[in-house]
Structure 1
Amino acid sequence: MKKLISMIAVAALLITGCAKELKVTTAENLKVEYGEELDNTKLFNAKESDENVKVDKVEGFDAKKMGEQEITVTFTDDNKDKEEKLKITVEDTKKPVIELKKESVGITAGDKLELKDNIKSVKDPVDGDLKYSDKTVEKDGYYIDKGKLDTKKAGTYEVKVIAADKNGNKTEKSFKVNVKKKETAKKPNGTGNSNTSNNGGSSSSNPSNTGNSGSNTGSSSGGSNNSSNSNGGSSNNGGGQKPVNPAPHQHYVDSSNSGHDDLVMSGMWFDTLAEADAWVDNYDGPDGTWGSYGYSAAQCSCGKYTVYFFNIGYME
């Protein structure tokens, strides 16, 4: 009986001694991309491990936790199991993506411009849309660097869209802003009843016509009528023709001697220089700048004065 028990003990010992531990060679210096699932096949070296080894379960892994992590991995070959501690590093190498509507936008000087209207989208590959900020951001958002942009001054400017994800990765993308010069009126719109005539530097005028037609005051003789018109002139209206009214008066001043190539007539006429001065003092021009420029007054043959401007800086 004792001999039988001894044989059973020896057999059990032999069986226990023959049982081998599952051999698994785990991975070292393993790096995982931020937000991505863990690839279990990369947790061990299949060539240096027992046959049919696979990962049964993983504990302690967070795909959105940056830096080094320690995880617990249970390996199995469906007969034996083995638990191992592994260290992995989560890193974010993917930058935000900026999409623009246009590579350049154009406005007229003085117009309003909303730069972010040219941005189609700003996204992080993992965390999605990033929010706009009117201030500089270092993480989780985007802003626009206007540079030297001046929407009131004609020129071509470059602005930058700068995006940063939650982990501080940054992307920049630029577009151009073309500011065009604002078109202005070539001369002011006069409100007076005056006409300007260019007669090669010579001055001519006709007295104002105060009547609608001449009146016949003489008696007929020899089939002809002598009639005087309202301006003191006489006309022969043979054959019963109606008297012809003289042309209306046209104000005129010879400005060829002014010495200013950029001279512009105001189109306004006044009885005195004082009235002309008063009008200029209270008139800023169609764009509100004329009051700061020089002017001169001259007299028409009819006795009225006009105002003309020079050094008009805003005109093309």
Structure 2
Amino acid sequence: MKKLISMIAVAALLMTGCAKELKVTPAENLKVEYGEKLDNTKLFNVKESDENVKVDKVEGFDAKKLGEQEITVTFTDGEREKEGKVIITVEDTKKPAIELKKESVSITAGDKLVLKDNIKSVKDPVDGDLKYSEKAVEKDGYYIDKGKLDTKKAGTYDVKVIAADKNGNKTEKSFKVIVKKKETAKKPSTNNSGNGYSANTPTNNSGFSSSKPNNSENSSSSNGGSSSNSGNSNGGSSNNGGGQKPVNPAPHQHSITVTGHPDVVYSNMWFESIEESAIWADSYRGPNGDWSGFGYSSAQCSCGMWSPYFFNVTTWE
């Protein structure tokens, strides 16, 4: 009888021991995005494992190592533990992000252009900022493909920014470069009446020249040894018969006055039409090229010339 009781106790003990082993089914074909943390709930099959199973510890995982990895995972339900192996694959599917300051850049033919200045940022979502390279790169950087850009020839050109992260993922983004024809300086108008006066055309440092000369029509005739000069002279006319020399008119000074804007900035540029004035103002970026935004309009001088002016000016940080 005692022998029978002992055998029953041993059998019960064996059955109890088998029941205590934690049942966990490790995950299969598990993929993880480069640089991201492991989701521990995906390391095992919940439906095929015991209740209340959780991951207690993970060893051997590298989030920035591409390819297949075998990691060691310790599972627990709070009372029992079990160690298992899980195969995961780290993949990088996210491309770098390129952010431009403007979708198009305008210059005048012959002006200096730094294409990199139109790039606000180039970043990889995991590794951060990518460095600029003068040459083409396949990994970990970005460069600019100028295409057929010719800053000395008027036209519209497409320029590409090409970025590649550490794992070779590439992104491209384009912007336009508008090269405008350079305005040639107008030939000064000269009064040929012999009084030595010439109307000069103002020229500015940007290479634009525009002015509307205030010419006078001069005529002379023989009348008993005397001649008369009709034009913009003091008193309206002068008689050279008595030896008096004609008076030269003062050169016209362009000017405009703008109200309503406390921060108005005058351009001191003059154009024959408001359209020409607007084209120039649209591509202007301040005396040092550091204006990030502004409003502009044009006003007309008494002589008919147009001049752009700016307000609400902001600069790049």
Match in the other structure for 1:166: 166
Deviation at residue 7 of structure 1 after TM alignment: 4.0
- Return the match for 2:16 from 18, 21, 28: 18
Check if 1:147 corresponds to 2:121: no
Q: Is the 8 A contact 1:69 1:89 kept in 2?
A: yes
| Paired AA for residue 123 in structure 2 | K
Aligned partner of residue 47 in structure 2, secondary structure: helix
Aligned partner of residue 46 in structure 1, secondary structure: coil
Structure 1: unaligned runs, 5 residues or longer: 197-203, 208-227, 230-240, 249-316
Q: Is the 8 A contact 1:140 1:168 kept in 2?
A: yes
C-alpha offsets along residues 147-196 of structure 1, whole Å, 9 cap, x if unaligned? 00000011000100111111111111000000011111233788x98789
C-alpha offsets along residues 197-237 of structure 1, whole Å, 9 cap, x if unaligned? xxxxxxx9999xxxxxxxxxxxxxxxxxxxx99xxxxxxxx
Deviation at residue 107 of structure 1 after TM alignment: 0.5
Q: Judging changes above 3 Å, is the alpha-carbon distance between structure 1 residues 15 and 244 closer, same or farther for their aligned structure 2 residues?
A: same
- Number of equivalenced pairs: 208
Q: Distance in 2 between matches of 1:189 and 1:96?
A: 58
| Paired AA for residue 147 in structure 2 | G
Q: Judging changes above 3 Å, is the alpha-carbon distance between structure 1 residues 243 and 174 closer, same or farther for their aligned structure 2 residues?
A: closer
| Paired AA for residue 16 in structure 1 | L
Identity of aligned pairs, percent? Answer: 74
Aligned partner of residue 89 in structure 2, secondary structure: strand
Check if 1:106 corresponds to 2:86: no
Match in the other structure for 1:175: 175
RMSD: 3.2
Match in the other structure for 1:44: 44
Q: Distance in 2 between matches of 1:93 and 1:242?
A: 91
Aligned partner of residue 47 in structure 1, secondary structure: coil
Larger Rg: 1
Deviation at residue 8 of structure 1 after TM alignment: 4.2
TM-score, length of structure 2 as denominator length: 0.59
Check if 1:134 corresponds to 2:117: no
Match in the other structure for 1:60: 60
Superposed, 1:258-297 pairs within 5 Å as none
Structure 2: unaligned runs, 5 residues or longer: 199-218, 227-238, 247-317
Q: Distance in 1 between matches of 2:49 and 2:245?
A: 116
Q: Distance in 1 between matches of 2:84 and 2:184?
A: 80
| Paired AA for residue 177 in structure 1 | V
Which is bigger in relative contact order (C-alpha 8 A, separation at least 6)? Answer: 1
Aligned partner of residue 27 in structure 1, secondary structure: coil
Q: Distance in 2 between matches of 1:77 and 1:120?
A: 51
